[in-house]
Chains A and B, each alone.
Chain A
Amino acid sequence: MGKYSGVMVYAEQRDSKIHKVSYELIGKARELADKLNEKVYCCICGPSDLQINELIYRGVDKVFYIKNDEIFNTPEVMTYAKNVTNIIDKVKPEICLFGATSFGRSLAPRVAASLKSGLTADCTGLEIDEEDNKLIQIRPAFSENILAHIKSQYLPQMSTVRYKEFDEALRDDTRTGEVEIVEAISIENNAIEILEEITEEILNITDAKIVVSAGRGLKTSEDFKMIEELAKLLGGEVGSSRPLVEEGFISKAHQVGYSGNRVKPKLYIACGISGAPQHQAGMKESDMILAINSDPSAPIFNIADYGIVGDIYEIIPQMISKIKNKRA
């Protein structure tokens, strides 16, 4: 067994577009690698038209580019697992980071188990322990009630990391690095076949700077129009609490919470949302929170920077018209 060295990032792509969590991981990987005096590696599976140098500009020393125009066009996890495992096994990085996106959360455990290594899920903090140069992985557990500090006993030390947890690495297009093209391994008689994609709308609410969300205070699905209008005026996206998604008022892509999307916008406007812990788990880290609710005892007010006790059907139309007036 060779010596393990370096910090590897698994970079995710879809339709030749590199997922931004990859740049956040590279930023963190650079910081960790510099402390250890080691290199930053990146492994990416994708078609031949990837902007591969972008990874170098963000701080990677060497990219392992598993290039194939056919097999990486769907989220067929078995093929990815095989290819990524192969690279990690060959490169033997000391630390290996995956984005905790839905795909990353399906892929990484498979890879870790195959390497007989550990994997710490959904990290929100990563540090090097000064005493033994090992990775301290910090993650919430017990439905976000505790933060556990975890260390891996095996190498590589592997983690999945939440999107929007770390800052994106700065881009420097004078940086240089190496790209090794790796031939992809296809699986014969693959047990999984992707039949079709039925995505209704591609909405990445986690990327929105402003989210205007509605909860049970909203009476009909029609009323989402006013939420949409406010969101649009502010250049934001529409969010929703779980009950309205279950009622069929709006699609799941808009759901914010423990079992939906976790958002961290500059401003979160909670309209008629009482603020159950499950909802808070998805939005409590927003930079600024405004809650509008007619019930002054609603828990959402405890985590809001600003609160208006009142009827959303009065306040939102007022806000819309006042914003329009300001801009007129």
Chain B
Amino acid sequence: MRIIALIKQVPDMEKVKFDREKGVVDRKSAGTEINPFDLNALEAAVQIKENIGAEVIAISMGPQSADSALREAISRGADRGILLSDRKFGGSDVKATAYTIAAGIKQIGKFDLIFAGIQTVDGDTGQVGSEVAEFLDIPHICFVEKINEVDDDSITVTTDIWDGIFIEKMKLPGLITVTKDINSPRLPAFKDKMSARKADIPVWGLDILKDYLDENGTGLKGSATMVKKIEVPAAVHREGKLWRDNLDTAVDEFIDIMIENKVMEVK
């Protein structure tokens, strides 16, 4: 079985700074990490590898420097990593990104399962997974929080969708997006980190992907949506009334406020 995990390198959201005046995200203000949800996707793939045997390939699209994310993926259990990178890929929206990743996957050849995180913490769209599935013409299941069973031909999962919890079975090949609840990603062991440093990360650009990728479908040119403006809204701050002592009065006063504001009825 061959499993592909989609990985994105994102800024560390705890540290990244936003310039309100200029309306820009200062990506240089913070280090990078693997998108947290993608760690769950990778862990799901590695667990299947441990249980029934599989080759796990981590694939990412990004600048050359994103190879460090793929090395980390290898240290966390992927067998190899592939970076899709080309200056012409810059500025890709969801559609162009999904199209390019799908081309990378076609270039890999045969596969059985693809895992992706439910969303990234930077783009936040949660759409790339399902679009990759459509471009590859394979089925997909989103919001998977548990893998019930997997064999060479199918996977059975528990998914949180439609205001409910459903058990779905999918014939392979197929794509799955996972939530944080599916597992707790392991930390890489020191020796795995060291050996991942030496791993060779092939970089695939337009020239290598030419059989599956039309230049007009990728990068800015191939993007269907364009960001016209970015606003950095002020952090929400409410001038709250604070009761610090005499809690008895606090509760009385708040009950009156609820009644005044008609959020509480006195029958």
- Pair from one complex: yes
CA distance A266 to B257 in the complex (A): 13
B109 within 8 A of A: no
| In contact, B167 and A195 (Cβ under 8 angstroms) | yes
A170 within 8 A of B: no
Q: Which of A143, A193, A195, A322 contacts B252 (CB 8 A)?
A: A322
| In contact, B134 and A191 (Cβ under 8 angstroms) | no
CB closest chain-B residue, reference A14: B162
Across-interface contacts of A191 in B (CB, < 8 A):
138-139, 170-171, 174
CA distance A140 to B242 in the complex (A): 30
| In contact, B126 and A192 (Cβ under 8 angstroms) | no
Across-interface contacts of B261 in A (CB, < 8 A):
266-267, 288
CB closest chain-A residue, reference B132: A113
Across-interface contacts of A174 in B (CB, < 8 A):
none
Known pairs A122-B125, A146-B231, A259-B180; A193 contacts B168 (CB<8 A): yes
| In contact, B18 and A290 (Cβ under 8 angstroms) | no
| In contact, A118 and B134 (Cβ under 8 angstroms) | no
| In contact, B263 and A202 (Cβ under 8 angstroms) | no
Across-interface contacts of B142 in A (CB, < 8 A):
77, 102, 105-106
A284 within 8 A of B: yes
CA distance A103 to B135 in the complex (A): 19
A37 within 8 A of B: no
| In contact, A289 and B238 (Cβ under 8 angstroms) | yes
Known pairs A143-B13, A202-B164, A304-B238; A150 contacts B226 (CB<8 A): yes
B151 within 8 A of A: no
Interface residue stretch chosen among B56-64, B69-77, B93-101, B193-201: B93-101
CA distance A197 to B167 in the complex (A): 6
Q: Which of B133, B168, B243 contacts A309 (CB 8 A)?
A: B243
CB closest chain-A residue, reference B265: A235
Chain A 150-209 residues near chain B, CB threshold 8 A: 150-154, 191-200, 202, 204, 209
A149 within 8 A of B: yes
Known pairs A103-B162, A195-B167, A301-B240; A315 contacts B264 (CB<8 A): no
| In contact, B160 and A252 (Cβ under 8 angstroms) | yes
| In contact, A193 and B169 (Cβ under 8 angstroms) | yes
Chain A 206-223 residues near chain B, CB threshold 8 A: 209-210
B232 within 8 A of A: yes
Across-interface contacts of B139 in A (CB, < 8 A):
78, 191-192
| In contact, A196 and B167 (Cβ under 8 angstroms) | yes
| In contact, B130 and A192 (Cβ under 8 angstroms) | no
Across-interface contacts of A77 in B (CB, < 8 A):
140-142
How many chain B residues sit at the interface, stated as a range, is 35 or more
B50 within 8 A of A: no
| In contact, B131 and A112 (Cβ under 8 angstroms) | yes
B218 within 8 A of A: no
Across-interface contacts of A192 in B (CB, < 8 A):
139, 141, 168-171, 174
Known pairs A121-B94, A147-B231; A74 contacts B166 (CB<8 A): yes
B161 nearest CB across to chain A (Å): 5
Chain A 269-284 residues near chain B, CB threshold 8 A: 280, 284
Known pairs A74-B166, A259-B179; A310 contacts B250 (CB<8 A): yes
B164 nearest CB across to chain A (Å): 4
Known pairs A110-B134, A113-B135, A199-B164; A122 contacts B124 (CB<8 A): yes
A9 within 8 A of B: no
Q: Which of B171, B228, B247 contacts A150 (CB 8 A)?
A: B228
CB closest chain-B residue, reference A266: B263
CB closest chain-B residue, reference A210: B263
| Most interface-central of B225, B233, B252 (chain A CB within 10 A) | B225
A52 within 8 A of B: no
B223 within 8 A of A: yes
Across-interface contacts of B224 in A (CB, < 8 A):
112, 116-119, 152-154
CB closest chain-B residue, reference A199: B164
Enumerate 19 A-B pairs (CB-CB under 8 Å) in ascending A order.
Answer: A103-B162, A106-B140, A109-B98, A110-B140, A119-B127, A121-B127, A144-B124, A145-B18, A146-B25, A146-B230, A150-B228, A152-B224, A194-B169, A198-B167, A204-B163, A259-B180, A267-B261, A296-B244, A307-B243
18 additional contacts (CB under 8 A) given A119-B127, A151-B225: A78-B139, A102-B160, A103-B161, A121-B94, A143-B121, A146-B18, A146-B231, A149-B227, A153-B224, A191-B171, A193-B170, A194-B166, A301-B240, A307-B243, A308-B242, A309-B242, A310-B247, A323-B264
